[in-house]
Structure 1
């Protein structure tokens, strides 16, 4: 009887409060995200030596500084389970929202043969890839993180990672590194008119 009671107690779910209420899945997701942030910050530093355009260098430095604080905030909340000393803030993009549409003829892209071939187009592509990857990892992790403080820090960081990705996209687009084709006007209009709204539950009553 005593052994059965001990077994039953062992199999009961554990409810933890405070800094230790992390699930195993969450630990791995946050570990992956923090490791990704370290990689992005390290590569940001490495890439800056290849940048020629002062505007791109300013973007890289601005994003590096912001991501460093985001990393520190997440590390603190992850380790303590408490509100971080420096809360998350909103990233201020330096680019305008104007997008250049259309495709101009350009040389086919291919991998570089040596580090001497690294250009601003290369670096901005590397930065964009990093930010998009972090945004994806953060969104996936924020859906399942159990610690409420760590989850909120990650969730609040996702719009900033998206904004940083979009800033680099706009920079690339402006310099014709990232070209944006459009459909024919008739095809675009047909696609845009192919959906309609539906009644909400309140409107049905």
Structure 2
């Protein structure tokens, strides 16, 4: 597959444009398969864990994220199968609640694997939700960077901020309940790192010697 200067995509030595259905590269197919499989795993995980949720706030987060992720999965599948604009655009996930984190560490019991499903807790469930959002963000980023089809690339790229937003919402919930604690550096060390970079002006760009 080659690209001419106008951006049109053509098959090797042929002059006809590649149909949208076939406008996919090999790496793209494998990576999008991985991204969609990751989405399915996260959705299935939420469905299995929902019955174990005890906190109403966590249940609300799980349900809202599930509905949004399911719609996004269907949109991505449609764009992947057709290579064309899906029947509905990718939405924008809006988390609910504040965005304040509590910093510092408090003593907790060491974590270890559970021995039975009776030990499944809101801490464990929220950890799974956070992990699923992070995994999906990573898989979709990898796929988008390898995607040739312009519509599918945009669908994947638009989905990544939603994964980040879901992860952020879940992390805040975990932090509020002391499941996810955030250490901080000493103020002097933090200040040194904050001041480690300075803004730069626009330099005059050097001209390549052989540019015609």
Q: Same fold judged by TM-score > 0.5?
A: yes
Q: What aligned pairs does 1:37-116 form with structure 2 within 5 A after superposition?
A: 37-116=39-118
Q: Deviation at 1:202?
A: 6.6
Q: Report the CA distance between 1:95 and its aligned residue.
A: 2.9
Match of 1:136 in 2: 138
Alignment of 1:101-180 (within 5 A): 101-180=103-182
Whether the 8 Å contact between 1:82 and 1:149 is mirrored in structure 2 is yes
State the match for 1:182 in structure 2. 184
Task: Name the structure 2 match of 1:6.
Answer: none
Give the conservation status (yes or no) of the 8 Å contact 1:95–1:171: no
Give the distance between the partners of 2:101 and 2:186, measured in 1 at CA. Answer: 17
How many angstroms does 1:13 deviate by?
5.6
Aligned to 1:7: none
SS of 1:138's equivalent? helix
Q: Name whichever of 110-119 and 63-72 sits farther off.
A: 110-119
Q: Spell out, residue by residue over 1:170-205, the C-alpha distance to the aligned partner (whole angstroms, 9 max, x if none).
A: 10011110000111111111111121112224799x
- After superposing on structure 2, the runs of 4+ consecutive aligned residues of structure 1 that deviate more than 6 Å are none
SS in structure 2 of the partner of residue 43 of structure 1: helix
Q: Paired residues, what number?
A: 194
Gaps of 5+ in 1: 1-10
Distance in structure 1 (CA, Å) of the matches to 2:97 and 2:178: 15
Q: Distance in 2 between matches of 1:196 and 1:102?
A: 28
Greater CA drift, 174-183 or 185-194:
185-194
C-alpha RMSD of matched pairs (Å): 1.7
SS at match of 1:85: coil
Report Cα offsets for 1:82-114 as digits up to 9, x if no partner.
Answer: 111111010010131101001111111111111
| Contact preservation (8 Å) 1:19, 1:80 | yes
TM-score, normalised to structure 1, is 0.90
Contact kept in structure 2, 1:95 and 1:170, CA below 8 Å:
no
